Structures are given as C-alpha cells and as structure tokens.
Homo-oligomer: A and B are copies of this chain.
Amino acid sequence: MVFLKKSRKETTGKKTTTKKLERTFSLQKVVLDTSLFVNPDVRQSLGETPTEALEAFLFLAAQIHILEFYMPPSIFEELLHFIEMDKIPEDLLMILNQKPPKKHELKCPAFLLYELIEDIRERVNKGLRIAEKAVRSVEKRSTDDIIQDLRRKYREALREGIIDSKEDVDLLLLAMELDALLVTADQGLIKWADKLGIKWLFPEKFKDYLLVAIKRSGIIMGKSK
C-alpha cells in the first residue's frame, strides 16, 4: 500500500551520501462513491445520517497521511443532495479531492463492449417479459397497483448490477486513471471494477480500513522524523 523508495539523489553521487536519507512515499489513492455515506447499511459504522457519516469520515481521514481521497465532481454533486453542508467544517472538506477523469485520453479494453452489450440485451428482454406479465394481470388487479408494481420490477431488472449512469462511469474511469482503490456499496460498480482490474474494497470494511491507515500513518511518520 505504501512504498518507501530511496530517492534518486541518494544513489547517483557521493555528494548526497552524507545527507539525511530522503524517502518518497507513493500515496495510495482512494476513490469514494456517495453510497458509502448514503446507503444506511453501509454508513452505519460511520454515522446515523449521511451528514454525520461524512463528518466522521473526514475526521478520520484528516489523521491519515498515507492515503489520498478523491471523488469525481459529479458524485460530489450527488452527495450534496443528502448532506447538510453547513454542518461540515470547510477545512475538513479539503481532504476530499474533487477530480473528473480524463475521459478523452483514457482507453478501455474493447472486449468489455461485448460484456456490456450482452448484459443490456438480457435485461431488455427481461424488461419486456415483465411488461407482458403486467398487461396480462390487468383483469385481476387495479391498474394503478399494476403500474406501481411494474415500475419497481422493471427498474430492478434493468438497473441493478449494471453501470447505468455517467456518474458510475466517472467513478470507474477515475479509479482506473489514478490506479486507485474504489470504495463503493454499488454491486454493479464492483462487478465492473473487477472486469477492469480496478482495486476495490468491501464497503463494510471501509471504517476498519481507515483505522488501520491511521495507525500506519503514525508508524511511518514516526520513522521518517
């Protein structure tokens, strides 16, 4: 996770041998999704409300010197809908770097197109079967009931476990670009992170991960003094 690397200076000439060893840290980058603070099952360990969870995270993150935290602006905007921003100290918020992915420079493996399209094809067919069932059930139940049921089932079938928004793509591409660890509670994103070779973390391990990073930060900072 953290690499101690002798700096170039130190190895290239006699002049530097008497100098204190310089160390460069290769900071692990971490890309965060809104779901960590919004999904009640996942945020539990951090706080009762999204605002509390974000604040708790920022408080922990401020003590970590071996990680860098990132969020695409589109995801941050999503987060704003759930957070009472006036309750979050502004200087803490600086810990969370906002960065969009370089979407016009990045490339993705072409075989993923096959998987994405097969995935969509299956779902589209499933959506049609759900719609047909709804039409056939009209005689038995009220139209409003059926429509409500149709909407839920259709959305479940077509959206769950799939990357279905530009925000999802932002998260994946940013993690790819930064060679970062992706932390999300979205199963569709985790599935795709796996396909793309992006590191990911079980979201329920997020707090533990932060606590370990705080501990390590102390050890490393102590050593480098």
Contact between chains at B104 and A107 (CB < 8 Å): no
Indicate whether A110 sits within 8 Å of B106 (C-beta atoms), given known contacts A124-B127, A131-B150, A150-B135: yes
Q: How large is the interface on A (under 10, 10 to 19, 20 to 34, 35 or more residues)?
A: 35 or more
Residues in chain B near residue A108, CB distance under 8 A: 107-108, 110, 113
Which of B111, B118, B146, B169 is within 8 Å of A103, CB to CB? B111
Q: How far is the CA of A90 from the CA of B179 in the complex (A)?
A: 52
* Cβ of A163 under 8 Å from chain B: yes
Taking the nearest CB of chain B, how far is it from the CB of A48, in angstroms?
32
Which of B117, B158, B166 is within 8 Å of A164, CB to CB? B117
A162-187: contact bitstring with B at CB < 8 Å (1 yes, 0 no)? 01111011000100100000000000
Which of B101, B118, B128, B168 is within 8 Å of A110, CB to CB? B101
Taking the nearest CB of chain B, how far is it from the CB of A113, in angstroms?
5
A112-131: contact bitstring with B at CB < 8 Å (1 yes, 0 no)? 01101110110010011011
Which of B110, B120, B135, B166 is within 8 Å of A114, CB to CB? B166
Residues in chain B near residue A104, CB distance under 8 A: 109-111
Which of B106, B117, B146, B173 is within 8 Å of A135, CB to CB? B146
A85-105: contact bitstring with B at CB < 8 Å (1 yes, 0 no)? 000000000000000010111
Contact between chains at A147 and B135 (CB < 8 Å): yes
Contact between chains at B117 and A163 (CB < 8 Å): yes
Contact between chains at B150 and A143 (CB < 8 Å): no
Contact between chains at B165 and A121 (CB < 8 Å): yes
Q: How far is the CA of A147 from the CA of B132 in the complex (A)?
A: 6
Taking the nearest CB of chain B, how far is it from the CB of A106, in angstroms?
4
User: 16 A-B contacts, Cβ less than 8 Å apart?
Assistant: A103-B111, A103-B114, A104-B109, A107-B107, A107-B110, A113-B116, A113-B163, A117-B164, A117-B165, A124-B124, A124-B159, A130-B131, A134-B135, A135-B135, A135-B147, A135-B150
Instruction: Name the 5 nearest CB pairs between A and B, nearest first.
Output: A131-B131, A106-B110, A107-B107, A138-B138, A103-B111
